[in-house]
Amino acid sequence: MEWKDLLRKAEEVFEKEPRLIRLPSKGKVVFVGDTHGDLEAGEKVIQRYLKKPNHIVFLGDYVDRGNYSEENIQYLVRCKLEHPEEVFLLAGNHEGFMVKEFSPANFWESLAIEEKEEYGRLFSKFPIAAATQNGILALHGALPDLKTLEDMNRVELGDEHWDRVAWGDFVESGTDYAGDLWGRPQFGREYFNRLMARYQKNILVRSHQPGAPLIMFNKRCITIFTSNVYLPIRTIAIADLEKDISDAEGVVLEKI
Q: Which of residues 42-61 bind Mn ion (CB under 5 A)?
A: 61
According to the binding rule CB under 5 A, does residue 168 interact with Mn ion? Answer: no
CA 173 vs CA 8, 164, 218, 225: distances in Å:
44, 17, 13, 22
According to the binding rule CB under 5 A, does residue 96 interact with Mn ion? Answer: no
Shortest CB 95 distance to Mn ion, Å: 9
| Region of residue 3 (left: phi > 0; alpha: psi -120 to 50; beta: else) | alpha
Q: Which of residues 191-210 bind Mn ion (CB under 5 A)?
A: 208
Q: How far apart are CA 110 and CA 107, in angstroms?
A: 5
Shortest CB 204 distance to Mn ion, Å: 15
Q: How far apart are CA 67 and CA 228, in angstroms?
A: 11
According to the binding rule CB under 5 A, does residue 93 interact with Mn ion? Answer: yes
DSSP, collapsed to helix, strand or coil, labels residue 219 as coil
Nearer to Mn ion, 201 or 208 (CB): 208
Shortest CB 209 distance to Mn ion, Å: 8
Beta strand ranges found along 92-168 (DSSP E) = 129-131, 136-139
DSSP, collapsed to helix, strand or coil, labels residue 142 as coil
According to the binding rule CB under 5 A, does residue 64 interact with Mn ion? Answer: no
Nearer to Mn ion, 55 or 208 (CB): 208
Burial 84-102 (b: 16+ CB within 10 A, else e): eebbbbbbbbbbbbbbeee
According to the binding rule CB under 5 A, does residue 72 interact with Mn ion? Answer: no
Nearer to Mn ion, 37 or 92 (CB): 92
Whether the upstream peptide bond of residue 144 has omega within 30° of 0, thus cis, is no
Give catalytic residues, as residue numbers: 94
Nearer to Mn ion, 155 or 241 (CB): 155
Shortest CB 122 distance to Mn ion, Å: 18
Among 33, 92, 135, 185, binds Mn ion (CB under 5 A): 92
Q: How far apart are CA 189 and CA 138, in angstroms?
A: 17
Shortest CB 207 distance to Mn ion, Å: 7
Residues in contact with Mn ion, counted by CB under 5 A, come to a total of 4
According to the binding rule CB under 5 A, does residue 226 interact with Mn ion? Answer: no
Q: What is the largest distance, in Å, between two alpha-carbon atoms of the chain?
A: 51
Residues near Mn ion (CB under 5 A) are 61, 92-93, 208
